Structure 1
Amino acid sequence: MTRELVRLGAAELAGLLARGEVKPSEAVEASIARIEAVDTKLNALPVHCFDRAREQARQLDAVPPAQRGALGGMPIVVKDNNDVGGVVTSGGTAIFRDRLPVASDRTIALLEKNGAIPVAKANLSELGGANTTNRLLGTTLHPMDLSLSCGGSSGGSAVAVATGQVWVAHGNDVGGSLRIPPAFAGITGLRPTPGRVPRLATRDPFDPVMVDGPLARNVEDLALMFDAMVDFDAGDPMSAPSPDAPFLPAARAPLNKPARVAISASPGGLPVAREIRDAMDRLASQLAAGGMQVKAAEPACDGARDHVAVLRGEAYALSWESLYRQLPREAFTPEVQGDIERGLTQPPERVRTAHRWRNDLARRVAAFWTDHDFFICPATQAMPFPVGDVYVRAIDGEPMRHYTDWITIDYMWSLVGCPLIALPVRTGAEGRGLPIGVQVMGPPRSEAALFAFGAWWEREICTPAQVIDPRI
Structure 2
Amino acid sequence: MVATGGARTATEIAGDVRSGRVQPAAVAQQALDAIASRDGAIGAFVEVRPDEVLREADAVAVRADLQSLPLAGVPVAIKDNVSVTGYPMRNGSVATSPDAATSDHPVVARLRAAGAVVVGLTSVPELCLWGATDAAGRITRNPWNLDLTPGGSSGGAGAAVASGMVPIAHGNDGMGSVRIPAANCGLVGIKPGRGVVPSQLGRNSWFGMSENGPLTTTVADAALMLSVMADDPSLAYVDRPESVRIGVAAGSPSPVVRVDEHFRRATLDTARLLDGDGHRTTTAELPYPASPLGQIARWTAGGADDATGLDRSALQKRTRRHIAVGRRLERFVKPSQIASLERHMRTYFTDVDVVLTPALATPPIRAIDWSTRGWLANMAANIRYAPFAAPWNLLGWPAISVPAGIHPESGTPLAVQLAGPPGSERLLLALAAQIELARPWPRTAPVR
- Global fold match (TM > 0.5): yes
Structure-1 separation of matches of 2:379 and 2:112: 42
Match status 1:86 vs 2:86: yes
Match status 1:368 vs 2:348: yes
Aligned to 1:56: 56
Q: Which amino acid aligns with 1:468?
A: A
Aligned to 1:234: none
Shift of 1:383: 0.5
Match status 1:319 vs 2:306: yes
Aligned to 1:265: 250
Structure-2 separation of matches of 1:141 and 1:465: 18
Aligned to 1:418: 397
Structure-2 separation of matches of 1:468 and 1:182: 12
Aligned to 1:133: 134
Shift of 1:390: 3.0
Q: Which amino acid aligns with 1:132?
A: T
Higher relative contact order at CA 8 Å, sep ≥6: structure 1 or structure 2? 2
Q: Give deviations 1:373-403, integer Å, cap 9, x for gaps.
A: 1111111122112111639x9xxxxx98645
Match status 1:246 vs 2:241: no
SS of residue in 2 equivalent to 1:377: strand
Q: Which amino acid aligns with 1:279?
A: A
Greater shift in the superposed pair: 296-305 or 154-163: 296-305
Q: Give deviations 1:44-84, integer Å, cap 9, x for gaps.
A: 11311111111111112222463562111211100011121
Shift of 1:317: 3.1
Shift of 1:366: 2.2
Of residues 327, 340, 344, the one that matches 2:323 is: 340
Match status 1:470 vs 2:431: no
Sequence identity percentage: 27
The 1:362–1:332 alpha-carbon spacing in structure 2 relative to 1, beyond 3 Å, is farther
The 1:318–1:6 alpha-carbon spacing in structure 2 relative to 1, beyond 3 Å, is same
The 1:112–1:213 alpha-carbon spacing in structure 2 relative to 1, beyond 3 Å, is same
The 1:92–1:268 alpha-carbon spacing in structure 2 relative to 1, beyond 3 Å, is closer
5+ residue gaps, structure 2, are none
Match status 1:204 vs 2:204: yes
Structure-2 separation of matches of 1:209 and 1:302: 15
Aligned to 2:143: 143
Q: Give deviations 1:178-201, integer Å, cap 9, x for gaps.
A: 101111111101100121112346
Shift of 1:259: 1.1
SS of residue in 1 equivalent to 2:344: helix
SS of residue in 1 equivalent to 2:237: helix
The 1:470–1:24 alpha-carbon spacing in structure 2 relative to 1, beyond 3 Å, is same
Aligned to 2:413: 435
Greater shift in the superposed pair: 14-23 or 407-416: 407-416
Q: Give deviations 1:14-43, integer Å, cap 9, x for gaps.
A: 111111111111111111111112111111
Q: TM-score, normalised by structure 1?
A: 0.85
Structure-2 separation of matches of 1:304 and 1:389: 30
Q: Give deviations 1:240-269, integer Å, cap 9, x for gaps.
A: xx5xx421221xx333x3211011123434
Structure-2 separation of matches of 1:177 and 1:347: 21
Q: Give deviations 1:189-235, integer Å, cap 9, x for gaps.
A: 1100121112346312693211101111010011111122113xxxx
Structure-2 separation of matches of 1:347 and 1:419: 25
| C-alpha contact (below 8 Å) 2:188/2:401 kept by paired residues | yes
Residue correspondence of structure 1 range 168-179 to structure 2 within 5 A:
168-179=168-179
Of residues 278, 284, 287, the one that matches 2:271 is: 284
Structure-2 separation of matches of 1:191 and 1:179: 7
SS of residue in 1 equivalent to 2:292: helix
Of residues 279, 287, 292, the one that matches 1:300 is: 287
Structure-1 separation of matches of 2:162 and 2:103: 28
SS of residue in 1 equivalent to 2:327: helix
Shift of 1:122: 0.8
5+ residue gaps, structure 1, are 232-241, 394-398
| C-alpha contact (below 8 Å) 1:304/1:408 kept by paired residues | no
| C-alpha contact (below 8 Å) 2:178/2:190 kept by paired residues | yes
| C-alpha contact (below 8 Å) 2:82/2:201 kept by paired residues | no
Structure-2 separation of matches of 1:400 and 1:305: 17
The 1:403–1:316 alpha-carbon spacing in structure 2 relative to 1, beyond 3 Å, is farther
SS of residue in 2 equivalent to 1:96: coil
SS of residue in 1 equivalent to 2:402: strand
Aligned to 1:222: 222
Structure-1 separation of matches of 2:410 and 2:381: 29
Aligned to 1:450: 428
Structure-1 separation of matches of 2:252 and 2:392: 11
SS of residue in 2 equivalent to 1:366: helix
Q: Give deviations 1:131-164, integer Å, cap 9, x for gaps.
A: 011227x211111221111111111111111121
The 1:317–1:400 alpha-carbon spacing in structure 2 relative to 1, beyond 3 Å, is closer
SS of residue in 1 equivalent to 2:126: coil
